[in-house]
Amino acid sequence: MSEISGGYKRETVLYTLPSIIMVVLTIYIPFVLSGYYSLTEWNGIAKTPEFIGFSNFKQIFTGGSSFMKALIFTGKYTALSMILVNIFALILAVALVKKLKSVNILRAVFFIPYIMSMTIVGFIWQFVFSQGFEDLFAITGMGFLNLSWLGDIHLVFYSVVFVGVWQSIGFYIVLYIAGLQSIPSDILEAAVVDGAGPLRSFFSITLPMLIPSLTTCVLMSMINSLKVFDIILALTKGGPAGVTYSVTLDIYREAFQNNNYGLGAAKSLVFFVIILLLTQIVLKAFKKRDVEI
Amino acid sequence: MTRAAKRKIGIIVFEIILILIAAVYIYPVFLMFMNSLKPFGEVVSDVIALPREPSFQNYADVIEKMNYPRLFFNNIVITVIGLIGIVFLSSLGAYMLDRRNTRYTRFAYSLIIIPMLIPFQTFMITLLKVMNVVHLSGSTWGLGIQYWGFGIPMATFIFFNFMKTIPKEIDESARIDGASTMRTFTGVIFPMLKTVTTTVVVLDVMWIWNDFLLPLLMVNSRPITKTLVLSAYTFVGQFNTQWHYAMTAMVLVVLPSIIVFILLQRYIVEGAVAGAVKG
């Protein structure tokens, strides 16, 4: 055994090293460098960044910074998207587990936007909001079609949330369907025998048994909404008047358009901490619920 | 009316309502296809109407203007390079990490999967700098290789969890037959990973094919290295008053995804679910 153990060890390292090298090169080194640059002022051109301590972080948290505005927008966007996506996905999943003739086609239809590029989804809706609604209003006369969904600084928030939900809901429907199908049918039948109505058995049996799916969906919808970028860039470019700038869009603009690499790096680290904290909070919250039930 | 008959009608009404919802839901995609078949004048005068004489003239124009074959080729190069590296390195790595439980493998496993928690946007600024230094930016093959680093953490995690379900006796019997570790892996173990490999392939193809931000940072400076989505982004920006061309460009970008989805629907849906539940 001992004469092959040296070769064994060498093999173990040899076959795992490529993965480690790639991860270190593309993730760890840039991440650590981000930490360094966040303490500097650097325009990306100068040879050496100037060390300025925590000034970048101070600038982020002092009033009226673009980051705080973007953070508030992203927070509101995430909260509303999470709620809408999960409620509608769950309702549609409950409808689409029923034995219907067209069920496979219907499921496919709801999944299609999810496989499309988010940039294209943003453009499609830009077209629908700006051109399609006008002509639909001319035919149907429905008032909501005549509003400026991308031009009004209040309405545009709902347009952006709506498009995000539209794009991603198919994915969550599929996850909830998988969860619903894993619930043993004899439990539900027993509830019906005991006289529970459909609503009662949904809230007392189906929903508690869906907690694992619910945790996954809430967590994924939260993280994906916090990172929203492509859809907004294609749909509004952050406008009108900068009210739809998300955090990721703000980081991108700070670094690559304003050439404040140091400040951009500081923002990206704050963003990292926020995502990490929120993820832990959601996981804790659901763990507790799991025990209670 | 009997109860059974009432129930039946109820289900039919329910199904019709669902079909209507689905039709409204997918209408914007339909609208995009319709308007790509109209000349400029018809798009401007009436977006809703069906094309009077459906024509593929827009497609001929846009394919030439965008240099579509080149873009399609670039997407294939990036996706294939990315995919092969991720699947091969992750499955091999996960095999080693699962079968050889030492201090090194436990450390290596954590090191590889922890980046799943780090959002790309938190290090994209400095990533560009590092990639410039190692010459992986500015080319399609370089971008493909970069995806290895971003795809390996999740893929290793998925492969590792599945690897535990493959009995160790299988390796041992291969070893007694004189097969090397690499032979055992490629000849015996890897073929047994089919279902989970499908999951990884589905997730990574959907991600790499449609990715926007990383290509925007790495390959946007020269027309010949652009991806489909990147080029559509610039193209729609340039032609945003000429909606007939914009719509056609958009259809050309999403059409491959939709065709593949229709052909492989079951695998794609199952892969997406499995990836989410495991990830």
Interchain pair A18, B93: CB under 8 A? yes
Please list, in sequence order, all residues whose beta carbon lies within 8 angstroms of the beta carbon of residue A132, skipping any fewer than 6 positions away.
B28, B31, B47, B48
Question: Are the C-beta atoms of A222 and A278 separated by less than 8 Å?
Answer: yes
Q: Which two tokens stand for residue A124?
A: 């499609």
> For residue B1, what pLDDT is reported?
67
**Is some CB atom of chain B closer than 8 A to the CB atom of A222?**
no
Interchain pair B47, A135: CB under 8 A? yes
How near does any CA of chain A get to the CA of B242, in Å?
11
**Is some CB atom of chain A closer than 8 A to the CB atom of B31?**
yes
Q: Which two tokens stand for residue A115?
A: 């496989």
Interchain pair B111, A20: CB under 8 A? yes
Interchain pair B18, A264: CB under 8 A? no
Cα gap A145→A133, rounded to integer Å: 5
**Is some CB atom of chain A closer than 8 A to the CB atom of B205?**
no
Interface predicted TM-score (ipTM): 0.90
Please list, in sequence order, all residues whose beta carbon lies within 8 angstroms of the beta carbon of residue B181, skipping any fewer than 6 positions away.
A11, A15
The one-letter amino acid at B197: T
CA A102 to mean position of chain CA atoms: 30
How near does any CA of chain B get to the CA of A63, in Å?
22
Per-residue pLDDT of B125-170, as tens digits, reads 899 989 999 999 999 999 999 999 999 999 999 999 999 889 988 8
**Is some CB atom of chain A closer than 8 A to the CB atom of B36?**
no
Supply the DSSP string of A44-61, one letter for each residue.
SSSSSPEE-TTHHHHHHH
> For residue A79, what pLDDT is reported?
96
Neighbours of B39 (CB within 10 A): 14
**Is some CB atom of chain A closer than 8 A to the CB atom of B246?**
yes
Question: Are the C-beta atoms of B55 and A151 separated by less than 8 Å?
Answer: no
Cα gap B79→B85, rounded to integer Å: 10
N- to C-terminal Cα separation, chain A: 51
Q: Is the dihedral of CA B59, B63, B64, B65 positive or negative?
A: positive
Interchain pair B47, A109: CB under 8 A? no
**Is some CB atom of chain B closer than 8 A to the CB atom of A283?**
no
Q: Which residues of chain B have pLDDT under 70?
A: 1, 278-279
> For residue A2, what pLDDT is reported?
42
Q: Which two tokens stand for residue B212?
A: 């926007």
> For residue A170, what pLDDT is reported?
93
CA B44 to mean position of chain CA atoms: 34
User: Counting beta carbons within 10 angstroms of the beta carbon of residue A47, is it exposed (0 to 12), middle (13 to 18) or buried (19 or more)?
Assistant: exposed
Q: Which residues of chain A have pLDDT under 50?
A: 1-3, 291-293
**Is some CB atom of chain B closer than 8 A to the CB atom of A149?**
no
Cα gap B224→B3, rounded to integer Å: 66
Question: Are the C-beta atoms of A118 and A246 separated by less than 8 Å?
Answer: no
**Is some CB atom of chain B closer than 8 A to the CB atom of A67?**
no
> For residue A293, what pLDDT is reported?
40
The one-letter amino acid at B273: V
Residue with structure tokens 């291969």?
A: B174
DSSP conformational letter for B82 = H
Per-residue pLDDT of A39-88, as tens digits, reads 988 877 777 788 888 888 888 888 667 899 999 999 999 999 999 999 99
Spatial CA neighbour of A37 closest among A271, A251, A263, A249: A263
Interchain pair B102, A12: CB under 8 A? yes
Q: Which two tokens stand for residue A73?
A: 């927008």
Interchain pair A109, B25: CB under 8 A? yes
Indicate left, alpha or beta for A259 from its phi (over 0: left) and psi (-120 to 50: alpha): left
Interchain pair B152, A118: CB under 8 A? no
**Is some CB atom of chain B closer than 8 A to the CB atom of A176?**
no
Neighbours of A53 (CB within 10 A): 9
Question: Are the C-beta atoms of A119 and B229 separated by less than 8 Å?
Answer: yes
Spell out which residues of chain B touch residue A13, defining contact as CB-CB under 8 Å: 104
Question: Are the C-beta atoms of B78 and B218 separated by less than 8 Å?
Answer: no
* Number of residues that make up chain A: 293
Give the CA distances from residue B68 to residues A111, B74, B198, in Å, rounded to whole numbers and listed in that order.
26, 10, 28
Supply the DSSP string of B150-169, one letter for each residue.
HHHHHHHHHHHHHHTTS-HH
How near does any CA of chain A get to the CA of B269, in Å?
7
Question: Are the C-beta atoms of A230 and A117 separated by less than 8 Å?
Answer: yes
- What residues does A50 pair with on adjacent strands? A41
